[in-house]
Structure 1
């Protein structure tokens, strides 16, 4: 059996226990629009790509997480509850964060109709023969990753979309596993910037080099993170 095929089978064998959900934003779980399960989306044209199945439903508490433009936010992912692993370590891949401006985050529905801009991504870091994926860092950091909210985006309400793209099965079309979740946030102290936006679905293609990619053999010399460039502000 070819090495790539064997590794794909081994990765598939762990898939059942590897699923994950976005559960906390700065230790706050009440503002997360929770999906009905921890299963991935594998069709990049699905309307569920924005915030996952049922992720378009506002949380019953109608709360938002208040943050100041330019401040740091921390997203936290787990397979089950907070005591479980972030995601199976075999699920190598990038981590991304998007924002979509909305009039009211507590009532906004139909995330697939919103316009999104990317504020963070991390993919593959190569150091000699050592590969470090964003997921490796997430697992090592107990399911958490952090970055800043751009300092000059407009104040107001947003949906924040956190995403993991697991590439262990991405060597064939439709094999990439996309996990995403959305949180309701309110940004204060912002500016007047109006970043370029994309649609979700729409920003990814099943044939994108960051979606359709074999990560086992031959060894990667680079990796292209899907979607638009990061808006840094």
Structure 2
């Protein structure tokens, strides 16, 4: 009995130490997100299933696309949204101030529910890295999420209509040279768009968009150099705005 309680306490403590997207507001409409510790069969959400609030520790991890096996949920929904609209992702908890926030999208073709998120090509629509200060003592994108438990992005107005995955990722850099990735995905149907799609260097696979050796991924924010360094390159491709 004691060991069971100890395991349960340890699991709860680990969950409280991290986090994941738990809801969205899109163009003023609220959408319930995924609850990783509840039964999948009881959940209806625009968010793809993900396994836990725990981090992914390797940029090459096969689940880094959406923190799951890549498939839609048993009662998967897709939110219809007009291009140019704001999407706000919310976290129920977050404890790490250091690191960047990125938002990616990927075209699914006619339907996202039948698409594995490991197979699509991703493009970045928003990022917030080091806002001010130094690597060792600065304000980051994650600082904003820590303070408000939300992050705003805008669906590019120029984007072509169709179904897309949207992916929010927090990269926590609070442990020296041990990056922690927290990605979650949801399904959108874009309408009223400008007919454009990104190509070339704007597109990347996940895994593949970045690697552990990238200077923005494996960082020691406690090093002597980091205390005066004011430049930081957010991992992954450049942001596509459609301009």
Q: CA deviation at 1:61?
A: 2.2
Q: Which residue of 2 aligns with 1:82?
A: none
Distance between the aligned counterparts of 2:207 and 2:223, measured in 1? 29
Q: Which residue of 1 aligns with 2:76?
A: 62
Could you tell me which of 231, 235, 238 is aligned with 1:226?
235
Runs (4+) off by over 3 Å: 14-17, 127-130
TM-score, structure 2 as length reference: 0.79
Q: Which residue of 1 aligns with 2:38?
A: none
Could you tell me which of 153, 158, 165 is aligned with 1:159?
165
Q: The residue matched to 1:98 in structure 2 has which SS?
A: strand
Could you tell me which of 137, 140, 151 is aligned with 2:144?
137
Deviations 1:117-151 (A, max 9, x none): 0000001112599621111111211x111111001
TM-score, structure 1 as length reference: 0.83
Count of aligned positions: 206
Distance between the aligned counterparts of 1:205 and 1:72, measured in 2? 30
Could you tell me which of 121, 124, 129 is aligned with 1:115?
121
Structure 1 residue 94 and structure 2 residue 97: aligned? no
Could you tell me which of 189, 192, 195 is aligned with 1:192?
195
Q: The residue matched to 1:121 in structure 2 has which SS?
A: strand
Q: Aligned-residue CA RMSD in angstroms?
A: 1.9
Structure 2 contact 48–76 (Cα < 8 Å) conserved: no
Distance between the aligned counterparts of 1:149 and 1:71, measured in 2? 6
Q: CA deviation at 1:194?
A: 1.8
Distance between the aligned counterparts of 1:157 and 1:165, measured in 2? 26
Distance between the aligned counterparts of 1:23 and 1:67, measured in 2? 19
Deviations 1:12-65 (A, max 9, x none): xx97642111111213121111212111111111220111123x2212223111
Structure 1 contact 23–34 (Cα < 8 Å) conserved: no
Worse overlay, 32-41 or 66-75: 32-41
Could you tell me which of 43, 50, 57 is aligned with 1:35?
50
Q: The residue matched to 1:33 in structure 2 has which SS?
A: coil
Give 5+ residue unaligned stretches, structure 2.
Answer: 1-12, 33-44
CA 1:51 to 1:16, structure 2 compared with 1: closer, same or farther past 3 Å? closer
Structure 1 contact 120–147 (Cα < 8 Å) conserved: yes
Q: The residue matched to 1:47 in structure 2 has which SS?
A: coil
Give 5+ residue unaligned stretches, structure 1.
Answer: 1-13, 79-84
Report 1 or 2 for greater relative contact order, CA contacts < 8 Å, sequence distance ≥ 6.
1
Distance between the aligned counterparts of 1:182 and 1:156, measured in 2? 16
Distance between the aligned counterparts of 1:16 and 1:61, measured in 2? 25
1:68-83, aligned counterparts within 5 Å? 68-78=82-92
Deviations 1:178-218 (A, max 9, x none): 00011011100012212131111111111101101111233
